[in-house]
Amino acid sequence: MIFVARDPAPQGMDLADPASPAAQEREEVRLLVEAGEAVPGKTYKVYKSDPAKRALLDLFHGKCAYCEINAAAGQDVDVEHYRPKGGVKDAAAAGVDHPGYWWLAMDYENLVTSCVHCNQSRRQVIVDPDLSEVEIAEALLAGRTETRGKHDWFPVEGDAWVTSPDQPLSDEAPLLLDPTRDDPGDHLDWRFHETLVTLVPRAGSARGQVTIDVLGLNRRHLTEDRMKKLLLMYHLRDNIRLTLQLLDDTDDPGHRAGLERLLEGEIRALAAHCAPDQPFSGMALTVFEAVRAEVEAIPV
């Protein structure tokens, strides 16, 4: 997960314009709610519109905003409500009557892209980062699954949810990270194992841990796909180390010039993995910074 600066709302989603489809839809829903009527799912159309989806895919570079897989390459990409529109499971479990954040269902500020694995409640094999390599292998072999995925979960501090549009959202302290408001790097860190890469909370961050758990960010196939990218970056790191050693061993001007050009290309190739349109760029930035600290020749 990486921070993404939210851009202006696309056409039709300006809630400040009473004539916009978003504002009209919110008024329609408001009337149903105030009349005590159920809101049919088909009432919510704006968040599923083509302008909304295109804008969100551009904003998040075709990736899942949470786990950073390339969701747009297939059919498994959802427009996801950060604050759920139809109800809040944790609130119900805590005995709090919450209608869902219906007034935010058409609010562009509340929408992100999500793969189905992060967004939908599913049984998944989850890797425990605190296990040893042997224990992880045994757990994966056993194939035990846990139900993970955001769906209608939205944990907040002290079970103090905002339950109506009359309350300011500032009254609420979400525990789930919002990649357009929070810097995930403040809350999430990486652990590199022999065959996979897991996420852990940075400095014991409660928000980091909740985000990892709710979204299932240590599901097996995700941890294995991260390792594939890590190995590519480690290959480039090793090439950089070798090139630096060769530079240290030669005084020939022509040879040095060629090696310096090679080194520049290897550094650019390593940095390319960190681009925001690349999968797992959050992890890649961590790896790049570690290599840069190790090899002083990598420029800022």
> ∠ CA 23-26-29 to the nearest 5 degrees?
155
Q: What is the pLDDT of residue 298?
A: 55
Q: What is the pTM of this model?
A: 0.90
Q: What is the pLDDT of residue 73?
A: 63
Q: What is the pLDDT of residue 77?
A: 79
Q: What is the pLDDT of residue 3?
A: 97
> ∠ CA 34-37-41 to the nearest 5 degrees?
110
- Tens-digit pLDDT string for the chain (300 aa): 999 999 999 989 999 999 999 999 999 999 999 999 988 888 999 999 999 999 999 999 999 999 999 876 655 678 999 999 989 999 999 999 999 999 999 999 999 999 999 998 888 888 999 888 888 888 888 888 888 989 999 999 999 999 999 999 999 999 999 999 999 999 999 999 989 999 999 999 999 999 999 999 999 999 999 999 999 999 999 999 899 889 888 888 888 999 989 989 999 999 999 999 999 999 999 999 988 887 775 543
Long-range contacts of 192-195 (CB under 8 A, 24+ apart): 192/230, 193/129, 193/133, 193/136, 193/223, 193/227, 194/133, 195/133, 195/137, 195/224, 195/227
Q: What is the pLDDT of residue 300?
A: 38
Question: How far apart are the C-alpha atoms of 84 and 103, rounded to whole Å?
Answer: 10
Question: How far apart are the C-alpha atoms of 236 and 123, rounded to whole Å?
Answer: 36
Q: What is the pLDDT of residue 135?
A: 86
Tokens of 266: 């290897």
- Closest among 172, 226, 182 to 207, alpha carbons compared: 182
